[in-house]
Homo-oligomer: A and B are copies of this chain.
Amino acid sequence: MMTELPVDQVRTLLAVVDEGTFDAAAAALHVTPSAVSQRIKTLEQRIGRVLLMRTKPVRPTASGQVVVRFARQLAALDQDAQRELGITGESGPARLSIAVNADSLATWFLPALTRVPRMSEVCFELYREDETQTAELLREGRVMAAVTSSPAAVTGCLVRPLGLARYLPAASPDFVDRHRTGPLRRWLPGAPVIVFDQHDELQDRFVRSLARADAARHRHSVPTSEGFRDAVAAGLGWGLVPEPQARPLLESGALVELDPGRHWDVPLYWQQWKLDVRALSLVADTITSAAAEALHPLPS
């Protein structure tokens, strides 16, 4: 029968993953590189699996990710207990690592964070990832919580629905004048388009919902939420713009809707470690209630 995982070895694994190399981990832990190497080997033998790929930087294997997640949860619980016991010392404020998609970060998420009570006890470590990828960071144990489009709970996590993020197909008025010929489904597949990055399929999916085609190969990728909006407003291409960013530009006439009343909705969920850490619960409550105001309701 297996007893508990040895905490010093688990923490060493985490240090190696966070620092990227055995040498850097050794420096951070104030031990020799060979001690680090020995602890990892012992842990791998005990678990009976390879935990690290010896690349530069090192990367945890699938089994390694489980141990990394465990190590981070351990650290969070430890910090939480120390804080409750009034031991401040080394630990400082609670570190909350959260993965968020760029459009949420640019619209409703940051104002929501500022409403979290007792901010002085919390440090936010935000990671920006596509909403289809944020759950992966949770799985890898890199973050404690994520805004994600995936309703399927990551192992060890609980899920709460947030709402629908609405996107409006839009372009600048002069872009429409230059490219419009006949109905939308005829001209849109050939018109220059803005995408967020190479993985962004939103625009292709929208065009497929109109016609048997993807969006044009003449595409610019602009990997920031505000840059995307600005590129559409500057007439470089059309794109699906988050509703809160589109509204003021539609009102000022800088953008026009390509198909008024038509929109594209992306469901968003909050997933977090099933862990009784006080700061994390406070944030989860604040975020979910802010999302309920900022997003459209999910169909039940």
Contact = CB atoms under 8 A, between A and B. Distances in A.
Interface of A: 53, 55, 59, 92-93, 102, 105-106, 110-111, 113-114, 119-120, 123-128, 192, 198, 217-227, 230-231, 234-236
Given A124-B236, A125-B198, A125-B220, 11 more contacts: A106-B224, A110-B222, A110-B230, A110-B234, A114-B234, A123-B217, A124-B221, A124-B222, A126-B222, A127-B223, A226-B226
Copies in the complex: 2
A59 B234 CA distance: 36
29 contacts: A53-B55, A55-B59, A92-B218, A93-B217, A93-B218, A102-B224, A105-B222, A105-B227, A106-B224, A110-B222, A110-B231, A111-B230, A113-B231, A114-B231, A114-B234, A119-B236, A120-B218, A123-B219, A123-B220, A124-B221, A125-B220, A126-B220, A126-B221, A126-B223, A127-B223, A128-B223, A224-B226, A225-B226, A226-B226
Contact of A106 (B53, B126, B226): B226
A224 B223 CA distance: 10
A124 B237 CA distance: 11
A23 to B, nearest CB: 18
Given A53-B55, A92-B217, A236 B127 contact: no
Contacts of A110: 222, 227, 230-231, 234
Which 6 pairs between the two chains have the least Cβ-Cβ distance? Answer: A124-B220, A114-B234, A128-B223, A92-B217, A125-B221, A226-B226
Nearest to A223: B128
Contacts of A102: 224
Nearest to A219: B123
B126 A236 contact: no
A196 to B, nearest CB: 10
Best-surrounded residue of A106, A114, A224 (most CB of chain B within 10 A): A224
Contacts of A106: 224, 226-227
Contacts of A128: 223-224
A122 to B, nearest CB: 8
Contacts of A114: 231, 234-236
Contacts of A231: 110, 113-114
Contacts of A111: 230, 234
A223 B99 CA distance: 10
A194 to B, nearest CB: 9
A123 B218 contact: yes
Nearest to A193: B123
A64 to B, nearest CB: 14
A235 B116 CA distance: 13
